[in-house]
Amino acid sequence: MQLILVSGLSGSGKSIALNVLEDAGYYCVDNLPATLLLEVVRFLEEAGHLRAAVSVDARSAALSALPEIVARLKVQGTDCRVLFLDASRESLVRRFSETRRRHPLTGASVTLAEAIERERAMLAGAADLGHHIDTSDLQPKALREWIRALLGIGTGPVTLLFESFGYSQGIPLDADWVIDARMLPNPHYDDDLRPLTGRDAPVIEYLDAQEMVQRLYADVREFLARWLPELVRDNRSYLTVAIGCTGGKHRSVYLAEKLASGFGTEWPVLVRHRGLASHAPPE
């Protein structure tokens, strides 16, 4: 079993680290008492979870026992790695001031600066157990990249959702990028094509033959191919590309299907057609 222990000072980025691990498929447990680690690892192994991440901070019961527990985990064959996140007092004070969060060790007679130093002393035994990361000058994006690189975690591909819609029903609220296809030749004005949709062969043949349609498709495909790798690096998991025409029945459906087919060999792809719901035949 692979176990990542995440520890460090409050405000140093432990939540960011745990989120990175969770996105990578680790079973994550936040703020677990150190004395329960052996029991939890045994339970997770029996349940089939072979990759787990556990956050242990200054609030943990029996924190002083953590070095011994880590040693026992390694002896029993657990691939246990420790990430300790730290930051300067000035950086931590600034972060707590900006977020207006309360430090877990502050009280009526304890200032924020005093709480930070008290926590640092409590975690002294854990600081030398594994890899030490100073996050004082790191932005969240940079910290996520550092953790992925350190643990050998790849960034998963963005899932593309191509969604057709009709402007007459409004732009979908979940759209990240919106493509307007209303300037394209409209099959609606052909009596034979009007009852059909962009998934039907006669409509596909009609739109395949339109130079303007193919030019828009090529432009959108080139744009997406250029910027999708940047979205992966920006930690995006999903991207909704909404393609709209007047009624959401012909042109937008055709383009959504064609784009999904074009990108489906390289990326996880989903297709939804909002405008076809009202045209669906009764069951």
Residues 120 and 184 reside in one and the same domain = no
**Each residue's pLDDT tens digit, 104-145:** 888 778 888 999 999 999 888 888 888 888 898 888 888 888
Measured CA distances, 278 to 170, 191, 264 (Å) = 14, 20, 27
* Domain's final residue, options 151, 168, 184: 151
Are residues 177 and 131 located together in one domain of the fold? no
Q: Do 192 and 127 belong together in one domain?
A: no
Q: Does residue 218 sit in the same domain as residue 91?
A: no
Q: For the chain, what is the domain count?
A: 2
Domain ranges, residue 257? 159-279
pLDDT of amino acid 167: 94
The secondary structure element, H or E, covering residue 25 is none
Domain boundary among the residues 92, 127, 151 is at: 151
| Percent of the chain whose predicted confidence (pLDDT) is above 70 | 94
230 in the same domain as 145: no
Same domain, 23 and 63: yes
Q: What is the pTM of this model?
A: 0.62
Residue 133 to residue 83: CA distance in whole angstroms: 7
CATH number where 44 lies: 3.40.50.300
Strands annotated E in the chain: 2-8, 27-29, 51-55, 79-86, 131-134, 159-166, 177-180, 238-245, 269-273
Domain boundary (151, 168, 187) is at 151
